[in-house]
Structure 1
C-alpha cells in the first residue's frame, strides 16, 4: 500500500490535440511508464475536479495551457489485489503551443503525429489503444446543473451524451 495515497488512487490525464492533429505526449522518468510516450497525467488534488486535474497536469508537465472539451473514458484497475487505481481521461484543446518540459519528472514532451506514435516502439499500451480507436468517441461537458443545496457542492459538471447534440 502507498501510505501517502491509501488504497484508492484517483488520477486524471489529458489528451491534447493541436490543429495539425498531433498528440501531446510525454516520456516519464519513473514508474511503469519510464521511457514510454504517454499522456500527461497525475493524481487529483483535494478541492479539484477530475477535468481540472487533467488541465493542471498538462500545464505542470508540459507548460501547455489547455481547456477541457470532452470526457474520453476511464482506465480502472486493481494493483496486487489491493490498490484501486483509477484514471479519467479528458480531451483537451490547447490554448498555447510552446512546450516547457518539467525536467524533474520527464525526459521529454512533444506534439507527435499519429503515424509517428504508431511507429515508435516507445509508445505506451494505453496510447496504442487510443490510437486504434480513432476516431475517438467522447462525452461533452454540461455546466449549470445544481444537484441540490443539501450536498454543498462548490463546483459541479456533468459529462453525458445529450440526445440534443
Structure 2
C-alpha cells in the first residue's frame, strides 16, 4: 500500500476566527505562498487524525491554541500531473489571542479583519475565496465510535 499512496498528499488548514471577526493569517517564507497572506497549514503526520493535525499546525506556526468547530471543505488538485495534493479546511475557535509567529517558517502571523486583507491585495486565492464564502455550514466531528475491533483503529472519528 505504501507504493500506491506515495504521491498522495494530505494536508490541513485552519480558519481561525476571533469573536471580533478577525482571521488568523500567516505570511510564509517558502513555497508558492512566499510573502503572501495565507492560512496556517501543514501535513498530517502518520500518527494523528486530521483534526489533531490542524490543531498542532496552527499552534506550531502561530502559538495560538485552538479547538475544532468543524470542517468547512476540501481543496484538491493535481501537481504537474503526478501528485494528488489534498487539504481539509477546518474552522477553529481560538483559545488564546497572543500570536507568536514561528519565524523559521513565517515572516509574520497576525489576527486581522478580512476586509483589510482584501484591501492590501496580497492574499492567496484560497484565502480570498474563503473570505467571500459563508463559513457557517460546518461538518461536525463525532467521536467515541468503534467500527469493529478487527480493524485495529487506535482513533476513529466521523465528520458529518
TM-score (norm 1): 0.91
Q: Which aligned segments of 4 or more residues in structure 1 are displaced greater than 6 angstroms?
A: none
Give the match for residue 146 of structure 2. Answer: 146
Q: Report the RMSD for the aligned CA atoms in angstroms.
A: 1.3
Asked whether the equivalents of residues 130 and 136 of structure 1 are also in contact (C-alpha less than 8 Å), the reply is: no
Tell me by how many angstroms 1:114 deviates: 1.6
Give distance in 2, aligned partners of 1:127 and 1:97. Answer: 20
Give the match for residue 95 of structure 1. Answer: 95
Tell me by how many angstroms 1:134 deviates: 2.6
TM-score (norm 2): 0.93
Asked whether the equivalents of residues 69 and 138 of structure 2 are also in contact (C-alpha less than 8 Å), the reply is: no
Give the match for residue 72 of structure 2. Answer: 72
Number of residue pairs aligned between Structure 1 and Structure 2: 156
Give the match for residue 26 of structure 2. Answer: 26
Asked whether the equivalents of residues 9 and 83 of structure 1 are also in contact (C-alpha less than 8 Å), the reply is: yes
Tell me by how many angstroms 1:140 deviates: 1.2
Give distance in 2, aligned partners of 1:90 and 1:135. Answer: 10
Give the match for residue 53 of structure 1. Answer: 53
Which runs of 5 or more residues in structure 2 are unaligned? none
Give the match for residue 122 of structure 2. Answer: 122
Tell me by how many angstroms 1:46 deviates: 1.2
